Every structure is written in structure tokens, then in C-alpha cells.
Chains A and B, each alone.
Chain A
């Protein structure tokens, strides 16, 4: 009995943790919703690739199907997929959308990021070295 309750609780915690892997601001969520409706696609997929001046950079693509190992994150009524290779790098990231006259872009506030490129696209994550510090942009 107790073990069942514990298992259920553990399952819920794990699910909750997964839901919070990446969070979205209202601006990001509404922008994603708008894009998906406009293009009639199912998901946005977040990934990382090794490039840029500081290690990694974020990638965003449309996706119609959830891959077997993709992580599905739902926040503010919007679903995004996270590439499994990217998951450990983006855990805890908050995705925002800024829109001003000169630019409109998704920005990623990543607590694991050790250094950032001027545009914020490239970043490094610490491996397992414990305490991380977010450098000022």
C-alpha cells in the first residue's frame, strides 16, 4: 500500500520535474502558439548544436511528430519537444520572446550556461562541476 503511494508520488514528481525542464514566458508561449497555428505544424522542437564561439547554440525547428526519445514539455498550453541530446543542456532554461523594432527573437535564460556570446546564441554548460554561475550578457 505504502509502496504504491510512494511509487505514485514518485511518478508525479518525475512528471512534474519533466514538465519544468524548460519553462516558457507568456510572450514565448503566445508567439509559439501563433507560429504553430500559422504554419499548421504540431510542435516546435528545441535542440542544441555544437557551434558558435562558445560551445553550443540553440536550434528551433518545426516538428510534426514526437520522436521516440523526444521530451515533450507543456507549459502555458503550448507543447514543445526537446531533442534528447539537448535535454541535459537545457534543463531549467526559461524561454522568452523579445520583440522590438530592430529584432524579434527567442531568447534562452539558461542557469547552466557558463558563458554567453553577445547575441546569447552560443553558450557553454558546465559538466558535472557542481555550482554554475550565469555570466552577465
Chain B
């Protein structure tokens, strides 16, 4: 009996925290990583705070800065999720001009901007974008995505956790 009530308490606290987090998310239009830093880690039961931004690694930022240097206009990295691939969904990267839709979410790090449209954002909460360099390819990849079951090992397609 005792362990069960303990688990119940922990779960309730966890969900209460998540609900509070979602309420905060819904109450604002525009997201940046600085805004997310204000949100305290909610649940005591989770070992790491599950902040729902989309993050870029230093390598990714560096690559974007390199690309930006050879461009006249400001360019943003757009990440979207489309259906396809062998596991249901796939990531699509694009280099776009600074024209975002009102419901896009923009994440910024060291002046480099990552844009995610509203629908794709649902599948990208807490994800990390990296620029991976290997012999066979050098490309932007989503290296970590809490919303996804690790479907495709080449990291371009994934299944969504239900």
C-alpha cells in the first residue's frame, strides 16, 4: 500500500508540473531560449528538467555562422517535420530568409536563429539540432528528440511516441 501511494503522489506532482508548464507555453506566442530559462524545472521526480525548446549545438551554431558569412541577407535555419521516410515522419532542413509566419517559433543562440512552424513544433519539443560531419555526409541532423522513438538510424526519419 505504502509504495503505491508514494508512486501516486509522485505521478500527481509530475503531471501537475507538466500542466503548469503547458499553461505557460500556451500563454505566450513567441519563444526564445532565454524565455525558457525563466521557467523553473517543475517536477521533483524527473531527473532532468524537460524544457520544451528546440536546441542547437555549438557545432550547429558555428556552421550557421559560416553559412551566414557568405550570405547578403539574414538567413534562418528552418526545421520542419513532414510525413514520409520509413518510420512515418521525417525532418526537413531549409535555409530561409527572415520571413516567418506569425505562429512560427523562433529559437535563438548566439545570433543564429532556428525557426519551427507551429505544427512541426509539436513533434520537436526538447529536440537538439546538430551539424554532424562524417566521411559519407556532413549535414544538419536532429540528434535527440524526446518526442520520437528512434526510428531511422540515419536520423532523418522517426516515429512519434504515442
Contacts and interface: CB of A to CB of B under 8 A. Distances in A.
B152 A118 contact: yes
A22 to B, nearest CB: 14
A6 to B, nearest CB: 41
A97 to B, nearest CB: 10
B31 interface: no
B95 A52 contact: no
Interface stretch (A12-20, A67-75, A99-107): A99-107
Most central of B151, B152, B156 by chain A CB within 10 Å: B152
Contacts of A61: 135
A8 B94 CA distance: 54
Interface string B127-155: 00000000111111000000000011111
Contact of B152 (A52, A60, A105, A106): A52
Contact of B135 (A62, A115, A117): A62
A53 B87 contact: yes
B139 A105 contact: yes
Q: Which range holds the interface residue count of chain A?
A: 20 to 34
A15 to B, nearest CB: 28
Contact of A53 (B93, B95, B135, B157): B157
B68 to A, nearest CB: 11
Contacts, number: 74
B135 A60 contact: yes
A101 B94 CA distance: 9
Contact of A122 (B90, B139, B152): B152
Contacts of B95: 101-102
Nearest to A107: B137
A101 B86 CA distance: 25
B136 A58 contact: yes
27 contacts: A44-B135, A52-B154, A53-B85, A53-B87, A53-B152, A53-B157, A60-B135, A101-B67, A101-B95, A102-B95, A103-B137, A103-B140, A104-B139, A105-B136, A105-B137, A117-B152, A118-B152, A118-B154, A118-B157, A119-B154, A119-B155, A119-B157, A121-B153, A121-B154, A121-B156, A122-B86, A122-B153
Nearest to A98: B137
Contacts of B49: none
Contacts of B155: 119
Given A54-B86, A117-B156, A117-B157, 8 more contacts: A51-B153, A53-B86, A57-B154, A60-B135, A101-B67, A103-B140, A117-B154, A121-B154
